[in-house]
Structure 1
C-alpha cells in the first residue's frame, strides 16, 4: 500500500504551523527553528509534513539522499518514524536522520536495531549561559572583557538600535556591499547565506526574530539577529561586523543578548562547520555545553 505522506516546501506561510509544533518540544538544537529553516531554504529543498500528529522536516541537497530531523511535537513519534521508513523505501531511498540529539537515539535503536549512529562534531551546537555572555565576568572571560572595554573606550559614542523598518533598507544596502566585497564564487555557503539574510531583512516584521545593530558617527559597525527558540533558549542565526572596528564582534554579541534576550537562560550560537578559526572563536566564549548531533542511517 502506497504511503499517503505529502511534503510541502517551507515558506513564510508555514511559520505559524511549524512554531506551534516547536512549542510542544523541548530541544537544544538550532536546526529546527523557523528562522534557520527560512534562511537556508534557498540552499537546499526544505519541506515539512505532519505525520501521526508530529511535524517532520525533510531536507534534500541536489544529487543526494534526503534526510529528516527527528519528529517534532507530542504525537506518536514511533509510528511517524515507521511510516517514514515505508515512505522512503517506496522511493528506493534510505531513511536518514540528521542533527539527532542524544536523548532521541534510544528510541531509534529500539525501532531500528541495525541503524548506525555517527556523531557529527562539525555540526554540533555551542550552548552558552546568556547572563555570562552579557556580563563577561571572571577570569574565563578576561580577554573578552578587555576587547569589549577597548571597544567602549575607542567608540564611546556608539549606539545600539533594534532592527526595524527605520534601518532595514540601510542594512540591505550594507549587506549587499559586504557580499560584493567578500564574495567567493567557490563558496556556495556564503552565496546562499547572503540570499537568506536579504530575505530576512525584507520580511523581518513577519518572522518573529529579534535583531540589532551598533553604529558610531552614523556608520553601522555590526549587526546580528536571532530568535527565542524556546522559553529557555535563544538562537543567534547571523552576526556580521566590520573588522576594522576592533572589538565590534564582541560588542554586537553582548549588545544583542543584553537588549533582546537577557531573560533567556541559554544562548545557542550554532555550529562551527569544522572551520578551525570558527571553532576556536566559539570555544573562546566558554560554552556551558556542546550539544552533540548525530547522523542516523536506518
Structure 2
C-alpha cells in the first residue's frame, strides 16, 4: 500500500531533487508549481518501483500526476498498478491530471474504460532555449528591436542574479508592481498573490532568480526551476513603465540561466487573451497539452443497484428500513474479524446512519456496490462488490447475521453476485478470499470459485468467464 508524504517547506528539498530528474517538460511536474498552489493542491508524494508518484487535489478530489522514473530499473507500469491498488483499497476514484500527450496511450492500452479530456487554457508553451538566448532570425525581429530600444533608452540597466541579500530590493519591487497592477479578475489577482509567496525561495539552490536593476531599483523579476532538460519559468514580472523590459528580461534570463538546458517552459496562459498573444509571439516550438484522465470501473455505467433473485433470496439495495439490522451486522466484532475490516479505523463512535450513508456514498462514487441479502423480505446480510482493479476485475465479500448462517444462504447469495458481476455488468474476473482459519468461508468459496493461491494469511479464489 502506498504511503504519501505532504509536499511542503519541510520536504521541499527532497521533492525538488526528484523534480530535477523529471523528463516531461510540463510545468505541473515541478516543485515551484506545487508550492505556489499548495493551499489548493495539497500535493503528496511517494516513490513506487523507482518512480516518483504525486497526487494533488483537483477541484476538491485527488488525482495523480503521471509517474516518472527517479531510480535505475524504474518500472512505470508497476507504479501504475500500485496507484490503482491504492485507489481500490481506499475506495477512491482513479484519476490523473496533467498527463503528457505521449503517455495517454499507455493508460488507454492498460485500462479498458477510460475518459480523457484536455483544455487549451492549461496548455504550456515550450521554447528552444537557444532561441531565447540569441533571438535570431526574422521571426524574432520584433523582440530584437524591443531589446535594442530598451538598452538604448536605459543604458545603465544591469541584469544580475538575485539572492536572499536582495530582499529590500525585491520588497520594493513587489510594492510598486502591486500598486501598478491593473488586472481585476480573481484569477489574475490570485496568481499574483501566489507568485509573491514564492519570494521566500529567492537564493535557494532549488530555484534560479534574476532581474534588471536600474538606479538602485529592481525593475524586473524572474524565478525559474530546472526540471530535467527544461527550465520552467514560474514567475516573470516587470514594471510596465520601462519599454522593452519584458523581451530584454526574457533574453538575459535565458542567457544567464538556460545554458545547461534545451528548453524553456513559460507555463500556460490561463485563457488570458493578452498572455496568449504574447506567448505565441515568442514562437513556441510546441504547445504542451495536458490530459485529464478518468480510469473508470464497471459501476460507472450503473445508475442504481438492481434487484437480483436467486432460488431463495433477493439481493437489492440497502434501505433506511434496514438500518437497525445493518448496524447490528456492521457492529458485530465476530463478523468483522473475518470481514477483515475494523470500522473503528475510520469512525470510533459511528452514529445510527453512519454505515448506511457510507455504503451509499461508495456506490455514488462508483467505488463499491453493497447488496442487501433478503430472505422473504427480511434483511439477513450483505454482499459487496468492491476493490475494482480497473482492468475488468473486482472482489466480492459477504457476511450474514449469525442466526442465518449454516443454511447455504452465503453461497447462494455469493453465486448470484458473481453471476451479476460477470454477466450483468460485463466483468472479466471476480475474486474472493478468506482467512486460513475460516473453514466455513473456504468451503463456501470453493463451491463457487476456483482456488487461486494462498499466503500466510489468506486463501484466494477467482472466477472468470
**How does the TM-score come out when normalised to structure 2?**
0.58
Change (3 A) 1:152 1:19: same
- Secondary structure of the structure 1 residue equivalent to 2:26: coil
**Per-residue deviation, 1:176:** 4.1
Change (3 A) 1:151 1:118: same
**Per-residue deviation, 1:16:** 3.9
Q: How does 1:61-80 map to 2 (within 5 A)?
A: 61=58, 64-73=60-69, 74=71, 75-80=74-79
Given candidates 268, 272, 276, the residue that maps to 2:265 is 268
Query: Gaps (5+ residues) in structure 1?
Result: none
Given candidates 215, 218, 225, the residue that maps to 1:217 is 215
**Per-residue deviation, 1:235:** 1.1
Change (3 A) 1:284 1:178: same
**Per-residue deviation, 1:32:** 1.1
Q: How does 1:156-175 map to 2 (within 5 A)?
A: 156-175=155-174
Which structure has more relative contact order (CA 8 Å, sep 6+)? It is 1
Residue in 1 aligned with 2:119?
A: 120
- Secondary structure of the structure 1 residue equivalent to 2:23: coil
- Give CA deviations for 1:149-174 in whole Å, capped at 9, x if unaligned: 11111111111121113312321342
- Give CA deviations for 1:78-127 in whole Å, capped at 9, x if unaligned: 23223322323444432111111122112211221211222222222111
1: CA distance, partners of 2:185 / 2:68 = 35
Q: Are 2:169 and 2:217, in contact at CA under 8 Å, matched by a contact in 1?
A: no
Change (3 A) 1:253 1:169: same
**Per-residue deviation, 1:207:** 4.5
Change (3 A) 1:127 1:185: closer
Residue in 2 aligned with 1:11?
A: 8
* Structure 2 residue 226 is matched with structure 1 residue 228: yes
Query: Please, which moves more after superposition, 98-107 or 21-30?
Result: 21-30
Q: Are 1:42 and 1:192, in contact at CA under 8 Å, matched by a contact in 2?
A: no
Query: Please, which moves more after superposition, 9-18 or 238-247?
Result: 9-18
What RMSD, in angstroms, separates the aligned Cα atoms of the two structures? 2.3
**Per-residue deviation, 1:195:** 4.1
Residue in 2 aligned with 1:102?
A: 101
Q: Are 2:128 and 2:285, in contact at CA under 8 Å, matched by a contact in 1?
A: yes
Stretches of 4+ aligned residues off by more than 4 angstroms: 183-186
Aligned length: 292
1: CA distance, partners of 2:24 / 2:150 = 35
